[in-house]
Structure 1
C-alpha cells in the first residue's frame, strides 16, 4: 500500500538497521547490571528518574495509542476521545495516587523486583506470588497486539509481508532485552518516549496544512467528518465500543487501574530514592500528555484524506504519508515503530522476570539447604533469559493470524490481569485487615469472572466486563478476609501504609 519513493523506503530500512545496532549496544552496556535478578528486572538506581518517567509514558502508549486508537478513530469518530481523556487525565491521577505508597512499601521490605513479589510480601504468601505471576502470562496476548502493530507498519510503509514483519519485531526485541534486561529496556524506552512526543506534536501541527482552516482547524475537521457520516461526530458511538455513559465511566476506571499493570509498576521499582519520585512523576505526566492525546487526531484526518482503507489500523501510517514529505515520514515512522517496541520490551521483561523471580525462586526456597552451593539468583536470571526465547516464539506463533482489532485484543489481555490484581493491590494500600486468603480469592474471582463474562458473551463490552469483574474481586477479598479471620485462619495482618 506504500506510496513512498523507493529511496525513502531504503532510508527507513537503514534507520531501522541503525536503531537495531544502537539498542543492541545499549543492551550490551546493560549486561553488567543484569547478572542478578533485581538488576535484570529493575536496574534500580542505574537510570535518571527523568528518563524512567519518559520510559513509563512510552511503555504506557504502546501500539494501542499509536495504531489501535487512531484506527478506532478512523472507524468511529470523536467518541474515541473518551479513551484519550482517560489515557492522560485519570491514568496520571492513578500514578499520583499509587506511586509513592507502592515505592515506600517495597523499600520497607528491602526492595522487590516485581509486582507478584510485592503482593507476596504484602500478604506473606508465596502461593499468591506464584498465582499472580501465572496470571501475567495473559500479557502474551498484549505482546501479540504489539507484534501485529509493528508488522502492520512494515506492511503499510515498507511493503514487507506481514509475516516477515512479525518475525523482525520479535527478533529485535528479545535480543536487546536478553542482553541488557531492565537497563536496556528503560534507556531505549526513554529515548523512544521523547521521539514519540515529538512525533505527536508534529501530527497536530500538520493538521494546519492537511485540513486547513487556521485556528478553526478542529471545527473544520469535525465538519468534514460530519459530512462523511453524522455518527463520526456523535458523543457516543452506537455501533462501536464507546456507546454509553456506563462505558465511558468504565474506561476511566480502566485507565486509573491500568497503572497497576506489572510492566508499568516495575518502572517505579527502578527508582532508588524517595526524592527521585517527583521528577519521575513529572516526566511521566509531560510525556503522557503528548503521547496520549495527540496521535488520535491523525486517525480523524485519515478518515477525511485517505478513505477506504482495508485495515483501520493502517490509518496513522497512511496519514503520515499524505501529510509529510518523504524524508520527514521516514523519521516519523521510526517514531511510530518506537511506540510499539517501547511496550513490547517492557512486556517481555515483565513476564520473564516474573518467571525467574516469582515462580522459580519461591519454589526452590522450600527445597534448598544452607549447604547448597547453587547460586539460585543467578540461575533465576538464566531461566528468565531462556524463557524470553520461549515467550518470543509463542507470541510469534499467535501473531501470524492478524486479529480483527488491534486495540480490542490489547484491551482484553490487560483487562484480564487488572481484574485479578485490582483488589489485592488497592486494598493492600489502604486496608489493614486484608490477608492472604482474601487476596488469593480476589485474584481468582476477578480474573475468572472476567474470562467468563467475555468468553461466554455475558458482558460483551470489554470495558463493562472489566469494571464488574474488578468490583467482584474487590468485594470478594473483603468477604474472604473477614470469613477466614472469623474461622480462625492464621493470617498475618499488616499495618496500615499511608501514601
Structure 2
C-alpha cells in the first residue's frame, strides 16, 4: 500500500466531478418516467452500442479476467467467443419482438403469456441477478482501491456507492448512456496503458511473454473433451451462449436500451457494435493477465510480495512467520485478483495511476448505474404498478423511481460487502448469475418457441427447473454416504441445464396434454344385411 500522489488524486477527483456534473445536467430533462427510463427513445444506435459495450466491460472484466488468466489460462475467453451467435439470435428475434410490444419492461409479456406468476418469477430472478452483479462489481472496485489507499474495503464501497447513487438518481437513463459512452473509451485506454507498461517492463519483451505463456499452458482455451464435469471449452461455450442470450434477450439492462433508440434497426446495430468491440478488448484483458504472469515470474521479489499480501488478507494479524508459511502454500489461482492492483501500486507512473483508477471506477460505475436504473424500472412497472397502484401521476412515478434507484444501489453495496473474502470475483459472479438467470431464460424461451404451451404446463416446468437448479447448486453439501446423489456437472452447467430443463419439460408436458392417454374407441354402426 502507498499514498497516491497528488496528481493522481486530482485526475480521480476530476473524473468524479465530471460524472456528477453529467448527472446534474441531465436531471433537468427528467420530467416524467418515460424520459427517466428510456430517454424518450431518442438516443442514436452507436451510443447505445458503446453503452452496452461499457456495461459488459465491468470491473469484473477489468480485474477478474486478468486475475483469471494469471491464475489459470484463457478458458474463460470462450465466453466471449459465444457472443456472436447469441447476438445473432437476439437481433433476429428478440429486438423485433420487444420493439413491437412497446413495453419498457422485459417481463410484462410473460404475464400475457402465462399469467402473473410468470412475470413475478422473472422479475425476482432478474433482481437477484442484479444484486449479484452489482455486489461482485462493488467487491472488485474495492479490491483495487484498497491496495492503492489502504482504506477498508467496506469503506471504499460505501463512498463509491454513494457517488454512483447520486449521479444515477439525478440523471436517469440518458445520463447513464452518455456517461457509459465516455467510460467505454476511458476503460479501453486504461487497459492499453497497462498492457504497454507490462510489456515495456518485461525482460525480453513480447517474445519472452509468449515463451513463458506457452511453457505454462497459459494460452489454452481448455480441454476439448466432451466432459461436462470440468470447465472445458464446451462447458464455457454453452454457459457463455446461454448467459449472453439471457443478457441480450431477457436482461432489463439491455432490453431497456432497445427502446431508447429511434428504430429496431438502430437497436440491432447497437448489439453488433457491442460484439465487435467487446470480443477483441476482452482478449486484450486475457493477454494482460498472461503478460502479468510472465512479468511476476521474471521478478521473484514482486511475486513474493503479492503472495505475502494475499496471505495477510487471509490471516489478518498473523505473525511474519505464519504469513510466510501460508504464502508458500498459495498458488497463482489464489491471488490472481490481487496482481493487477499490486502492479498499479508499484509500477505505474504518477498521473497514469489516476487515469487507470478512473478507468476502473468507470468500469464499476457504468454497470452498477445501469443495473440500478433497470432494477428501479422493473420494480416500478412490474411490482408497484402491477400490485399496488397503477395510476401514478408523473410526480409520483418520478418519486418512486428515485426511491427505488437509491434502495437498489444500497442493496448492491451491501451485497458487495458480504462478498469480502471470496477467492475469485469472476467465479462468484458466474456462479450466482447462472443460478438466478437459468430459470428466467428457460421460461422466456418456452413462451416464445412453444406457442401452444399454457399456464399449467409452464408452471409445472418452472417448478421442475427450480428443483433441478437447487439440486445442482447445493448438491455438494450432500453427506458423503449419499455422494451418489451429488450433481456430477460443473457449476457453470447450472445455467445451461436449468434453462433446458424448463424448456424441454414444458414442451413435453404440452405434447402429452394434447395427446390422449387412451386411444378413442372406434365407433360401431349397426349395419343391416
Task: Between 202-211 and 412-421, report the one with greater CA deviation.
Answer: 202-211
Q: Name the structure 2 match of 1:491.
A: none
Instruction: Work out the CA distance in 1 between the residues paired with 2:29 and 2:105.
Output: 16
Aligned residues of 2:90 and 2:245 also touching (Cα < 8 A): no
Instruction: Work out the CA distance in 2 between the residues paired with 1:162 and 1:355.
Output: 29
- Within the candidate set 39, 55, 61, 1:65 is matched to 61
Q: Name the structure 1 match of 2:435.
A: 416
- Within the candidate set 258, 262, 267, 1:277 is matched to 267
For the pair 1:247 / 2:235, whether they are aligned, the reply is yes
Q: How does 1:94-493 map to 2 (within 5 A)?
A: 94-109=86-101, 111-121=102-112, 123=113, 125-138=115-128, 139-211=130-202, 213=204, 216=207, 218-223=209-214, 226=215, 230=216, 236=222, 243-259=231-247, 260=249, 261-304=251-294, 305=296, 306-308=302-304, 309=306, 310=310, 311-321=335-345, 324-364=348-388, 375=392, 378-401=395-418, 402-404=420-422, 405-457=424-476, 458-459=486-487, 461-482=490-511
Q: Name the structure 1 match of 2:482.
A: none
For the pair 1:82 / 2:106, whether they are aligned, the reply is no
- Within the candidate set 5, 19, 39, 1:23 is matched to 19
Note the alpha carbon deviations across 1:271-329, whole angstroms, 9 max, x for none. 22123135413431232134321122222233332424314322222234455422222
Q: 1:166 to 1:447 in 2, by over 3 A?
A: farther
Q: 1:475 to 1:335 in 2, by over 3 A?
A: same
TM-score, normalised to structure 1, is: 0.83
Instruction: Work out the CA distance in 2 between the residues paired with 1:274 and 1:357.
Output: 22
Q: 1:207 to 1:101 in 2, by over 3 A?
A: same
Instruction: Work out the CA distance in 1 between the residues paired with 2:34 and 2:462.
Output: 25
1:86 Cα deviation from its structure 2 partner? 2.2
1:425 Cα deviation from its structure 2 partner? 2.9
1:231 Cα deviation from its structure 2 partner? 6.4
Instruction: Work out the CA distance in 2 between the residues paired with 1:19 and 1:60.
Output: 21
1:454 Cα deviation from its structure 2 partner? 1.2
Note the alpha carbon deviations across 1:56-92, whole angstroms, 9 max, x for none. 011112222111122222222x2xx2322322x3113
Instruction: Work out the CA distance in 2 between the residues paired with 1:270 and 1:442.
Output: 34
Instruction: Work out the CA distance in 1 between the residues paired with 2:470 and 2:54.
Output: 28
1:470 Cα deviation from its structure 2 partner? 1.6
1:447 Cα deviation from its structure 2 partner? 4.5
SS at match of 2:82: helix
Q: 1:53 to 1:44 in 2, by over 3 A?
A: farther
Aligned residues of 2:91 and 2:268 also touching (Cα < 8 A): no
Instruction: Work out the CA distance in 1 between the residues paired with 2:280 and 2:218.
Output: 23
| Aligned residues: CA RMSD | 3.0
Larger Rg: 2
Can you give the 5+ residue segments of structure 1 that lack an aligned partner in the other structure?
A: 369-373, 488-499
Aligned residue pairs: how many? 463
1:438 Cα deviation from its structure 2 partner? 4.3
Q: Name the structure 2 match of 1:492.
A: none
Can you give the 5+ residue segments of structure 2 that lack an aligned partner in the other structure?
A: 297-301, 311-334, 477-485, 517-529
Q: 1:221 to 1:381 in 2, by over 3 A?
A: farther
Q: 1:184 to 1:481 in 2, by over 3 A?
A: farther
Aligned residues of 1:201 and 1:290 also touching (Cα < 8 A): no
